[in-house]
Amino acid sequence: EQQEEDVLRELRLFLRNVTERLSLDRRFKAFTKPVDIEEVPDYMLVIRKPMDFSTLLTNIDEQKYVTVGEFMSDAELIWQNALEYNPDSDPMDRHIRHRACALKDTVRAIIRDELDEDFERVCEEVKESR
Ligand SMILES: O=C(C1CCC1)N1C[C@@H]2C[C@H]3C[C@@H](O)[C@@H](O)[C@]2(C1)O3
């Protein structure tokens, strides 16, 4: 009912705010758009579920996420994919993995500092009721 729509609207506002702040951070520029398949033809063979900030924003607007946990499952793919596709010891791979680790720690710190546990619990209850 209306209260549920109010909670989900607040969730979308929070998730958009977090995602937009991440996409403004210059360290995370490589994560803002899908990996270019023209540039990296084997990417889809290695990475089963690509993810990036622009896709997260589209998912938010399409009301795909009912809880922060569902959003985090997709957000985690961004750094997990980067670590998986760029495992080598060369400087480029190391640089990408450093940024992937910085992204992981940054997202977790934002959620810890800014997500009210009671709010996430209400979102979980909306999810269970559907
Ligand atoms: O994994 C990624 C992105 C970085 C975080 C996501 N890429 C795979 C390619 C390997 C490396 C160098 C370029 O070939 C560039 O195309 C990519 C993009 O970086």
Q: Is the pTM of this model over 0.90?
A: yes
Task: Provide the b/e sequence for 11-42 (b: ≥16 CB within 10 Å).
Answer: bbebbeebbeebbeeeebebbbeebeeeeeee
Cα 115 to ligand 1 centroid, rounded to whole Å: 31
Nearest CA to ligand 1 atom 4: 30
25 alpha carbon – ligand 1 mean position (Å): 17
CA separation for the pair 118, 65 (Å, rounded):
17
- Choosing from 83, 96, 99, 103 the residue with most ligand 1 atoms within 8 A of its CB, the one to mutate for a pocket test is 96
Per-residue pLDDT tens over the stretch 4-56: 999 999 999 999 999 999 999 999 999 999 999 999 999 999 999 999 999 99
What was the pLDDT predicted at 82? 98
Which residue type, as a one-letter code, is found at position 76? E
Residue 13 Cβ inside 6 Å of ligand 1? The answer reads no
pLDDT (tens digit per residue) in 106-127: 999 999 999 999 999 999 999 9
| Residue 26 to residues 102, 108, 130, Cα–Cα distance (Å) | 12, 18, 39
**Cα(81)–Cα(51) distance, integer angstroms:** 8
How many angstroms separate the alpha carbon of residue 11 from the centre of ligand 1? 31
Best probe residue, ligand 1, of 40, 47, 94 (max atoms within 8 Å of C-beta): 40
Q: Is 30 in the pocket of ligand 1 (CB under 6 A)?
A: yes
| Banded pLDDT at 59 (limits 50, 70, 90) | very high
Average pLDDT (62-90) is 98
pLDDT of residue 88: 98
